[in-house]
Amino acid sequence: MTSTTDSRSYAFAFLIRAAEDLPADFDLPRDLPPFSCGVFLPQAAPDWYGRRAYPPRVLLLSPDRLTAIAHRASGEAAQTIPLRDLRFVEYGHFLLSGWITFATPEGRREFRFNTRTSRPVEEWLRALSRQWAPAADGCHARECVPAGSALSIKFRNAESAALDPDEHLVARFFHTPAKVGLPADYVGITNRRLIWITDRNRGRCERFGWIVRWAPLTRRFR
């Protein structure tokens, strides 16, 4: 982008297809490898749980790594996450509070953002899913084997949102407590990923949103 507008005032996420799409007030590391897709995350103010504010960031997907770059005014160094070290990905959203977490042997790296627009974030996560979680051998069945409770409307929508267009369920387990207002849990196995969905957040049930955590079936950890 050539605009001189301060990207700290941007309220919406958007996809980044090339370096020219980056806001002008972001600096790319000199050793950054070519990237296939990126996403801009608008800054996040402190939330009601006391989590600190975050500057605007971009997440870039390269063939062998993820790179997180913060707005130049933050003073943060660029962060690199090799895909070989990635254990699982978490995507959560409750009302206007959203975050992406990458788990590695060194710990969890969380990137929060305002969820005024979540579609670009979800499109970028699908690009990561296609690259990092290819189809597993032997998962060709088209009939899903269900277990547990029948899906609620909320979790039916969550399942639909979590699945990629080229992905199909092999098995699903859903548990919903008998008492209204308690959190529920969903586990799904697809031809590509193991997916866990819950509306449990910090020990309580959140009505407006859910958390999705996933890992590839074919992943071989070091």
Q: What is the phi/psi pair of residue 101, to 5°?
A: -125, 135
Characterise 178 by phi-psi region: left (phi > 0), alpha (psi -120 to 50), beta (else): alpha
Residue identified by tokens 């206007």 is 96
The average pLDDT across 160-167 equals 93
Answer positive or negative: Cα dihedral of 118, 54, 127, 108. negative
Per-residue pLDDT tens digits for 39-61 = 999 987 776 666 668 899 999 99
- Name the helix (H) or strand (E) containing 193: strand 193-198
pLDDT at residue 153 above 60?
A: yes
Per-residue pLDDT tens digits for 175-214 = 998 888 899 999 999 999 999 999 998 888 988 999 999 9
| Residue type (1 letter), 12 | F
Q: Is residue 216 classed as helix, strand or coil in its secondary structure?
A: strand
| Residue type (1 letter), 35 | F
Provide Rg for the chain, Cα atoms: 18
In the chain, what is the greatest distance between 2 CA atoms, to the nearest angstrom?
A: 55
Structure tokens at 69: 């770059």
Please list the alpha-helical segments (H only) found in the chain: 119-132, 153-162
Check if the beta carbon of residue 98 is closer than 8 Å to that of residue 121. Answer: yes
Per-residue pLDDT tens digits for 96-109 = 888 999 999 999 99
Instruction: Give the pLDDT band of residue 222 (cuts 50, 70, 90).
Output: very low
User: For residue 215, what pLDDT is reported?
Assistant: 96
Check if the beta carbon of residue 1 is closer than 8 Å to that of residue 22. Answer: yes
Structure tokens at 194: 């193991």
User: For residue 1, what pLDDT is reported?
Assistant: 46
Dihedral, CA atoms, 148, 189, 216, 35, nearest 10 degrees?
Answer: -100
Task: Centre a 10 Å sphere on the Cβ of residue 67 and count the other Cβ atoms it contains.
Answer: 20
Instruction: Give the pLDDT band of residue 2 (cuts 50, 70, 90).
Output: very low
Across all residues in the chain, what is the average pLDDT?
Answer: 89
The average pLDDT across 135-163 equals 87
User: For residue 209, what pLDDT is reported?
Assistant: 93
The average pLDDT across 55-69 equals 96
User: For residue 125, what pLDDT is reported?
Assistant: 97
The average pLDDT across 1-27 equals 85
Best CA proximity match to 39, nearest among 97, 125, 157? 125
N- to C-terminal Cα separation, the chain = 39
User: For residue 128, what pLDDT is reported?
Assistant: 97
Spell out the residues 6+ positions from residue 2 whose beta carbon is closer than 8 angstroms to its own.
24
